[in-house]
Amino acid sequence: MTEMNLRDALSKGLREALDTNENVFLMGEDIGIYGGPYAVTKGLFEDYGSEKIIDTPISESGFVGAGIGSSMVGMKPIIEIMTINFSLLAIDQIVNHAAKMHYMSDGQLSVPIIIRTVTGAGGRLAATHSQSFEGWYASVPGLIVVAPSNPSDALGLLRASINDNNPIIFAEHSMLYGVTGDVPDQYYETPIGLPKIIEEGNDLTIIAWSGMIPVAQEVSSKLKDKKLQTEIVDLRTLNPIDFELIFNSVKKTNKVVILDEYWETGSFGAYICSVIQENCFDYLDAPIAVVNSLNIPMPYSADLEDEVIPNTKRVLMKIDELLGL
């Protein structure tokens, strides 16, 4: 095992891909000479050159479209969009072309592109730079959506994504790059679509992903003071999802709280809630709770932003209400 942070785990995966697959290249804004807005691609330009690490103009629709086209003719582009907010400028390319090309060509064409992008709030970057759209993309048939919360899963899911032949949105939370953890030295891949229990318990299931995992862990720690053992399920991928592990956890604990950084209206967490409700109704001892960001544009103020994002205090209040504590 080697301890590393999530940023370094991703960089390791990118280097592996460049070293072992001649069709891999990276493209995006400031990923080359500058070293990447979040330093994930730092040093790659010097080691691999301008033909493999391509700095682009500020034109998301243009370079995402170019990446889609190149993937259709045999290349394996890994595109970096500076933040998921900017992916809206390429949403036609992503949703109407990358996601649908395989289906509309009757399987004759594939789009094996990886779009790495940064999601989430907490960085005091205000309303247009702090949104969490991975749930949007997870609702689109044809797109795989990955959202790791720790270095081991980040590397394992990146490796699996590189070996996958489908278009993939690889969402990296802006506040998790410095999170450290043990990463196996031997080669491994993390299965796409398979959630993971990261903490076992019998009293309550908390389902979360990406930037909400640290909140879930802090909530679990606080609940131990009340003699409650929480089971935390990290989705890891939003599309596809193998629900069997989730159903088994719900059947064991009989109570569920879902943490989702998206707004309350139309959240991906509400979708997870509906699937559990339909399949585990007889096992539930209380209504399923979903804790989201409040339905307002994200404030710039640190104090206000901390209140809008799902936080430990709000989650604990919801759990107290749920359990009648």
- Evaluate whether residue 188 is within a structural domain: no
Query: Are 169 and 24 found together in one domain?
Result: yes
Active site residues: 60, 129
**Residues pairing with 199 in the sheet:** 232
241 assigned to some structural domain = yes
CA distances from 1 to 4, 180, 181, 185, 236 (A): 10, 12, 9, 5, 21
* Mean pLDDT, residues 43-66: 97
Give the number of domains in the chain: 2
Same domain for 117 and 11? yes
Q: Identify the pLDDT of residue 322.
A: 87
CATH number at residue 301: 3.40.50.920
Residue 160 buriedness (CB in 10 A; 0-12 / 13-18 / 19+): buried
Domain boundary among 127, 161, 183: 183
Furthest C-alpha separation in the chain: 61
The answer on 209 and 299 residing in a single domain is yes
Domain assignment present for residue 50? The answer is yes
Distances (CA, A) of 312 to 78, 135, 217, 219, 318: 35, 22, 9, 6, 10
Question: Within this chain, do residues 40 and 159 fall inside the same structural domain, yes or no?
Answer: yes
The answer on 294 and 150 residing in a single domain is no
Which of 149, 183, 217 finishes a domain? 183
Domain assignment present for 190: no
Domain range for 302: 196-323
Q: Residues 167, 270: one domain?
A: no
**Whether residue 163 is found in the same domain as residue 205:** no
71 Cβ partners below 8 Å, 6+ apart?
77, 110, 111, 112, 113, 167
Q: Taking a C-beta distance cutoff of 8 angstroms, is the pair 153, 196 a contact?
A: yes
Structure confidence by residue, pLDDT tens digits, 197-217: 999 999 999 999 999 999 999
User: Residue 140 domain-assigned?
Assistant: yes
Is 10 within a domain?
yes
pLDDT band at residue 8, thresholds of 50, 70 and 90? very high
What integer pLDDT is reported at residue 53 of this predicted model?
98
pTM: 0.96
CATH number of the domain that 17 lies in? Answer: 3.40.50.970
The amino acid that residue 148 corresponds to is P
Contact by Cβ (8 Å): 122, 309: yes
Look at residues 183, 214, 245 and tell me which one is the last residue of a structural domain.
183
Domain match, 172 and 214 both: no
**What's the rounded Cα separation, in Å, for the pair 205 and 232?**
6
Residue 190, amino acid: T
* pLDDT per residue as tens digits for the range 271-290: 999 999 999 999 999 999 99
**Mean pLDDT across 225-231:** 95
Query: Does residue 189 form part of some domain?
Result: no
SS3 (DSSP) at 24: strand
Residue the block writes with tokens 């064409």: 109
Find where tokens 């243009």 sit.
62
pLDDT per residue as tens digits for the range 239-269: 999 999 999 999 999 999 999 999 999 999 9
**Structural domain includes residue 235:** yes
How are beta strands 196-199 and 168-173 bridged, if at all? unpaired
Q: Same structural domain for residues 130 and 202?
A: no
pLDDT above 90: residue 132: yes
pLDDT (average), residues 119-130: 95
Same domain, 178 and 200: no
Query: Same structural domain for residues 67 and 201?
Result: no
CA distances from 179 to 26, 118, 148, 175, 251 (A): 24, 15, 11, 8, 31
**pLDDT above 80: residue 308:** yes
Same domain, 147 and 288: no
